[in-house]
Each structure stands twice: as structure tokens, then as C-alpha cells.
């Protein structure tokens, strides 16, 4: 199975910044590093397990397990199932942290179904195909998780003068705090409008870098 450059996990048209497929979760989950870490774990969990489960269903499709029509709906249902399992496990470990990111965790399967659309459109059933689908899904999850971490590390100190991590009965713990005398908070970055400003700056840098590295590839 081979993919062209438009399907690259970072530079391609299906990437979080290339097609802005991850814009929503970048804005919502990057307000706090603790939210970004939780969402990143959910991304790897959902993308990886969904790709494995769906690939095994494809490999066993000689028994007519999957319908001819509506395979994208089956893929989405599998992603929602694993997303719900992650939310349940995280709620059992840290209820307050789970409540804070519940909406974000429920949106991750939909991002998975959208960005991995080409996975359920392929019909290979060999073990190499299963491995390649898994690696492709994990690379997509890693790209979005890395962007989430970088975005939140920049955004949270600007907005709250701190960095947080999921845990404890309060939902998050502060792992780093910047005093107001040495670091002035910019409250606009705590809201979605500030996140959109930062995202627009990132997208401009991304488009400039993509045009320099791959000139003419996306015309």
C-alpha cells in the first residue's frame, strides 16, 4: 500500500494543519497542557485500536462480516467504541479531569473517522496491510498529539502563567508556575479567539514551510 504526498501525516491535505482537520480539537484542548496530554493519550488509543480492529475485520471479511455499503459507518462506530472505553477508564482514574475534557474525548473518534477515511477505503487483507494501516493511523495521531502539546505549552503560560498536568482529585496539578512579575499573562489567549490568533500564525508558518519544502506538489 502506498500513499502519495497529499496523504502525508504532517504535510498532506489530510493533516491537522494542511486541511485544518484538527483545528477544532487544537483550539479546545490546547488551553491547558493537562487537557492536551489527556487528548493525546485518547488520540493514540482510538487511532491505534480502531485501525487494528478494522484491519482484522477486513482480513476476515471472507465470512461477510462487513457490509458492502456503509463501511465508513462501521469504522466510525468502532472508533466511538474505543473512545468511550478510554473515557470510562480515565473517569475511573480521575473523575474531575475526565469531566473537564469529556467533550474533547467524545470528539476524538470523529476526528479519527475523518482523517483515516482512506483506511477503510482500501481492500487489502495481508498482515503487511494491517501493519501499514496501524503505522499510518499512529503517525496521524502522533502528528496531532505533537501539535496539541506544542500549542498548549505556548498557550497556557501566556494565558495562565502556569503549566498543568492531569491528576489528583482536583483534576489537574500545576507543574510549573510563572510569577506575575517575571511573566505577564495575556488573558485573550485563554479564550477561543486568542487560540484562533495563535492557530492562524501557526498555519501561516506551516504554509510557508510546506511551499519551501514541496514547491508545486500541492497545486
Q: What is the pLDDT of residues 136-189, one digit of tens each?
A: 888 889 989 999 999 999 888 888 888 888 877 677 888 877 766 545 556 677
* Maximum separation of any 2 CA atoms in the chain, in Å: 67
Q: Do 163 and 157 contact (CB within 8 A), yes or no?
A: yes
pLDDT of 184: 57
pLDDT of 117: 67
The tens digit of pLDDT for each residue in 74-125 reads 889 999 999 999 999 999 988 888 888 999 999 999 888 887 766 655 555 5
pLDDT of 216: 55
Q: Do 100 and 171 contact (CB within 8 A), yes or no?
A: yes
Q: Do 1 and 132 contact (CB within 8 A), yes or no?
A: yes
pLDDT of 85: 96
Contacts with 147 (C-beta within 8 Å, 6 or more apart), sequence order: 16, 17, 22, 26, 202
Cβ neighbour number for residue 39 with a 10 Å cutoff: 25
Average pLDDT, the chain: 80
126 pLDDT above the threshold of 80: no
pLDDT of 5: 44
Q: Which residue has the higher pLDDT, 22 or 50?
A: 50
When pLDDT is averaged across residues 201-205 and rounded to a whole number, the result is 86
37 pLDDT above the threshold of 90: yes
For residue 5, CA distances in Å to 2, 8, 202, 215 come to 10, 5, 21, 12
Burial class, 74, CB count within 10 angstroms (exposed 0-12 / middle 13-18 / buried 19+): middle
Provide the whole-model pTM: 0.84
pLDDT of 77: 92
Amino acid at each position: 500500500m502506498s500513499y502519495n504526498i497529499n496523504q502525508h501525516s504532517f504535510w498532506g491535505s489530510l493533516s491537522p494543519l494542511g486541511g485544518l482537520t484538527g483545528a477544532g480539537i487544537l483550539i479546545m484542548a490546547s488551553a491547558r497542557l493537562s487537557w492536551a496530554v489527556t487528548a493525546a493519550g485518547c488520540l493514540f488509543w482510538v487511532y491505534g485500536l480502531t485501525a487494528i480492529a478494522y484491519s482484522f475485520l477486513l482480513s476476515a471479511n471472507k465470512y461477510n462480516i462487513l457490509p458492502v455499503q456503509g463501511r465508513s459507518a462501521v469504522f466510525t462506530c468502532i472508533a466511538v467504541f474505543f473512545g468511550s472505553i478510554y473515557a470510562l477508564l480515565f473517569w475511573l482514574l480521575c473523575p474531575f479531569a475526565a469531566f473537564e475534557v469529556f467533550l474533547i474525548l467524545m470528539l476524538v473518534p470523529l476526528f479519527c473517522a475523518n482523517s483515516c477515511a482512506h483506511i477503510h477505503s482500501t481492500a487489502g487483507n495481508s498482515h503487511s496491510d494491517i501493519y501499514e494501516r496501524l503505522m499510518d493511523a499512529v503517525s496521524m495521531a502522533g502528528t496531532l498529539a505533537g501539535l496539541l502539546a506544542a500549542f498548549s505549552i505556548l498557550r497556557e503560560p501566556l494565558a495562565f502563567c502556569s503549566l498543568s498536568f492531569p491528576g489528583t482529585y482536583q483534576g489537574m496539578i500545576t507543574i510549573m508556575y510563572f510569577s506575575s512579575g517575571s511573566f505577564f499573562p495575556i488573558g485573550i489567549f485563554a479564550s477561543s479567539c486568542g487560540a484562533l490568533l495563535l492557530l492562524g500564525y501557526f498555519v501561516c508558518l506551516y504554509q510557508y514551510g510546506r511551499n519551501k519544502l514541496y514547491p508545486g506538489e500541492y497545486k
